[in-house]
């Protein structure tokens, strides 16, 4: 559930509080815009998975800019109920962008809905090595800049949630290329926000995460630095290369695909083990976003020989997480807080009375 109390009480989400106080509000993410993090800022619902319903809630609530993936929940061809949510948003005065150039050409007068992929957006490393994807899909930094430009002139100010959501998905898959380059893309979006806040001098930027995941770490060894640096030679994610491998691929083809994607290759035995997952011999690999049962865990363990990265699981972890702030209101931050305290800190920093 999202914003639902232990006795079923529906709590008012933080972005609705800011909207009621007269501010503009928006979200951008690399996963579906209806996914748990943006939805958690915006709506109250008993199921985070009811993403078609969440898309309709966004329409009713009238947020000012919503961008990410999620065609599955907006397109009449893909929605179960065949509703055309794009038409519905247009009827309410929204500009609808379906690709990067459409997003870039939106004006700052009307609200914006941007939906750029059926599910999540491509991983950054895959996008960076594919000209077509670069032309079609905006980066997280570009979406952040567009969102700030859309809302920065509003007389009562704005709130914006920016999520590098696929860092989490990559950790679930033990996919180090996906994780690191999406974290870099998030860092570039942070720079956009900080550059604006530095000039504006009246904006608080909060940087954090909702939880740890899988605890990737560099394993000690004499070649650890060199091995870890080899990730800079990666052209694609493990998701990309494991989808390139087919049940009828040969051992030589498997090695060729991995050499192209990682700049290193597997020995024949490891390549045969990878192939064994495609013919039904191994089907035990699950994982939150691993619908095809691809051998993410097994392959990450093989990669460790060449990149020295180890993982403790494919699930969320209980570590403490980083929280940093920049700008007016950052003085409210204590050295150690609960994640729920941020709700009240944001309201206090923006001088919005919590009386809803």
Taken as a whole, the chain contains a residue count of: 356
Residue among 340, 336, 343 at smallest CA distance from 321: 336
Contact 163, 220 (CB under 8 A): no
Considering the domain boundaries, does residue 92 fall inside one? yes
Radius of gyration (C-alpha) of the chain in whole angstroms: 21
Q: What is the pLDDT of residue 281?
A: 58
Please check whether residues 140 and 168 belong to one and the same domain: yes
Considering the domain boundaries, does residue 72 fall inside one? yes
What gap in Å lies between CA 248 and CA 57, rounded to an integer?
45
What does the pLDDT profile of the chain (356 residues) look like in tens digits? 999 999 999 999 999 999 999 999 999 999 999 999 999 999 999 999 999 999 999 999 999 999 999 999 999 999 999 999 999 999 999 999 999 999 999 999 999 999 999 999 999 999 999 999 999 999 999 999 999 999 999 999 999 999 999 999 999 999 999 999 999 999 999 999 999 999 999 999 999 999 999 999 999 999 999 999 999 999 999 999 999 999 999 999 999 999 999 999 899 999 999 999 988 656 666 666 777 778 999 999 999 999 999 999 999 999 999 999 999 999 999 999 999 999 999 999 999 999 98
* Owning domain of residue 228: 217-310
What gap in Å lies between CA 294 and CA 284, rounded to an integer?
10
Query: Number of C-alpha atoms within 13 angstroms, CB side, residue 84?
Result: 7
Tell me the Ramachandran region of residue 95: left when phi exceeds 0, alpha when psi lies from -120 to 50, beta otherwise: beta
Q: Specify the 3-state DSSP secondary structure of 29.
A: strand
Please check whether residues 63 and 167 belong to one and the same domain: yes
What gap in Å lies between CA 286 and CA 306, rounded to an integer?
24
CATH number at residue 182: 3.40.720.10
In this prediction the pTM is 0.96
Please check whether residues 126 and 258 belong to one and the same domain: no
Residue among 135, 193, 136 at smallest CA distance from 164: 193
Please check whether residues 240 and 174 belong to one and the same domain: no
Please check whether residues 288 and 320 belong to one and the same domain: no
Q: What is the pLDDT of residue 334?
A: 95
List all residues 6 or more positions away from 351 whose beta carbon is below 8 Å from its beta carbon: none
Please check whether residues 37 and 159 belong to one and the same domain: yes
The first and second tokens of residue 271, run together, are 């390549």
Considering the domain boundaries, does residue 59 fall inside one? yes
């Amino acid at each position: 559930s999202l914003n639902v109390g232990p006795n079923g009480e529906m709590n008012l989400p933080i972005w609705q509080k800011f909207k009621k106080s007269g501010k503009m509000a928006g979200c951008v993410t690399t996963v579906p815009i209806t996914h748990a993090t943006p939805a958690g800022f915006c709506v109250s619902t008993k199921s985070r998975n009811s993403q078609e319903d969440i898309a309709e809630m966004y329409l009713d609530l009238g947020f000012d800019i919503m961008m990410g993936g999620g065609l599955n929940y907006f397109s009449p061809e893909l929605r179960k109920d065949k509703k055309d949510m794009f038409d519905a948003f247009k009827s309410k005065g929204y500009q609808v962008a379906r690709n990067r150039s459409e997003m870039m050409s939106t004006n700052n007068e009307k609200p914006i809905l941007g939906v750029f992929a059926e599910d999540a957006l491509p991983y950054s490393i895959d996008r960076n090595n594919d000209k077509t994807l670069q032309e079609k899909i905006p980066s997280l930094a570009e979406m952040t800049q567009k969102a700030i430009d859309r809302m920065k002139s509003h007389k009562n100010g704005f709130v914006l949630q920016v999520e590098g959501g696929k860092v989490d998905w990559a950790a679930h898959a033990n996919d180090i290329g996906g994780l690191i380059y999406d974290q870099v893309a998030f860092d570039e979006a942070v720079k956009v926000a900080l550059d604006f806040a530095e000039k504006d001098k009246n904006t608080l930027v909060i940087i954090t995460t909702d939880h740890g995941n899988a605890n990737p770490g560099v394993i000690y060894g004499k070649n650890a630095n060199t091995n870890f640096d080899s990730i800079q030679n990666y052209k694609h994610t493990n998701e990309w290369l494991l989808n390139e491998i087919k049940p009828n691929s040969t051992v030589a083809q498997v090695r060729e695909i991995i050499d192209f994607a990682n700049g290193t290759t597997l020995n024949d035995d490891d390549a045969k083990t990878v192939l064994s997952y495609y013919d039904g011999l191994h089907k035990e690999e699950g994982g939150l976003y691993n619908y095809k049962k691809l051998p993410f865990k097994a392959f990450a363990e093989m990669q460790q020989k060449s990149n020295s990265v180890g993982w403790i699981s494919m699930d969320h972890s209980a570590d403490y997480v980083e929280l940093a702030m920049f700008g007016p209101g950052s003085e409210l931050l204590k050295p150690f807080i609960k994640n729920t305290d941020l709700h009240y800190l944001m309201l206090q920093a923006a001088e919005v009375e919590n009386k809803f």
